[in-house]
Amino acid sequence: MSSQDAQPDSLQRFLLKGAPVRGEIVSLDGAWRQVVERHQLPECVRDCLGELSAAALLLAASLKFDGSLVLQIHGDGPVALLVVECDAVGSFRSTVKIREDATIAEDATLTELVNVNGRGRFVVTLDPRTRTPSRQPYQGIVPFEGRTVADVLEHYMTRSEQVPTRLWLAADGSRAAGLLLQRLPDEGGHASAGSTDPDGWNRLCLLADTVSRDELVALAAPDVLRRLFWQEPLHGFDQRDCRFACRCSRDKVIAMLQMLGREEIESILTERESVEVHCEFCNLAYRFDAVDAARLFVPGAHHTAPDIPQ
Ligand SMILES: [Zn+2]
């Protein structure tokens, strides 16, 4: 298949018959290009962000969790932050912060981008949609470990979830894709009585190791599964759509400006005609001229100025 053919933005889950092994494959096409078009990124940075986006959707789909999952790589190199937010039903948004005056080699590795002095961090945040005393946000922070986004995630999953998890990720300017395999915990910590395929986990991982990044990103998800696992009894397929969706709004920006306070806003307006806030995820610009700004501090005022897509 040519890499120009449009494919659905989707995530598919599957099981291996007779073995406590589950898998997921995600393929982002138009949804990933919506991220690419909103940021001017060096290719190596863009591809890492694509891999992290695919990984976030895979992880979110593997959790029994209603809320948002945020994956962040905090870097000590030219890239200060890679961040992806997504929910369990396939909406995501992604962005990058590059340090001012940073120089980035065309073929820089992830380590060269975010772990130059060994102070990179990987942060996972789970924020439940509704908070209760037993359902509070969770944050896990681990040192940056590994050479690729997949390595970093695998290390995290091994440390925190103690569920053996493998990931294969790839991205370019058109697509982002990922495959996840997970060995489900056996009942009581022993080989599950119902398991008739004790070697299933190792076999699927060996097969998945034969996929190249080019194949993963260029082939449609069903073709990747056929290419890798054509002899394997996969079943239990279910599919969901994925989409780029930003959660910014003029109301949220207004609340932020109100927090800054009237004095701060007035001081900005002595230097320029309007206060402008850019959403770092979708690049939408929210502008407030002197009249809009004055209304920020009038109780009950309506704020109706249009937002300007960049
Ligand atoms: Zn936005």
Question: pLDDT for 155-196, tens place per residue?
Answer: 998 888 778 999 999 999 999 999 999 998 765 545 555 678
- Band (pLDDT 50/70/90 cuts) for residue 1 is very low
Instruction: Take residue 240 and report the two structure tokens written for it.
Output: 């969901």
Among residues 39, 94, 88, the alpha carbon closest in space to that of 71 is found at 94
Cα(278) to ligand 1 centroid in Å equals 8
Cα(250) to ligand 1 centroid in Å equals 10
The answer to whether residue 310 is domain-embedded is no
Cα(168) to ligand 1 centroid in Å equals 29
Residue percentage of the chain with pLDDT more than 70: 92
In this structure, of 18-32, 141-155, 209-223, 291-305, the range with the lowest mean pLDDT score is 291-305
Same domain flag for 38 and 155: yes
Domain range holding 278? 250-296
Same domain flag for 279 and 155: no
Question: pLDDT for 25-72, tens place per residue?
Answer: 999 999 999 999 999 999 999 999 999 999 999 999 988 778 999 999
Cα(190) to ligand 1 centroid in Å equals 47
Cα(184) to ligand 1 centroid in Å equals 37
pLDDT at 184: 87
Distances (CA, A) of 216 to 14, 74, 160, 220, 268: 17, 26, 27, 8, 48
Q: State the DSSP code for 132.
A: B
Cα(293) to ligand 1 centroid in Å equals 20
Same domain flag for 274 and 231: no
- Ion ligand 1: residue ranges with CB closer than 5 A: 246, 248, 279, 281-282
Same domain flag for 148 and 279: no
CATH of the domain at 132: 3.55.30.10
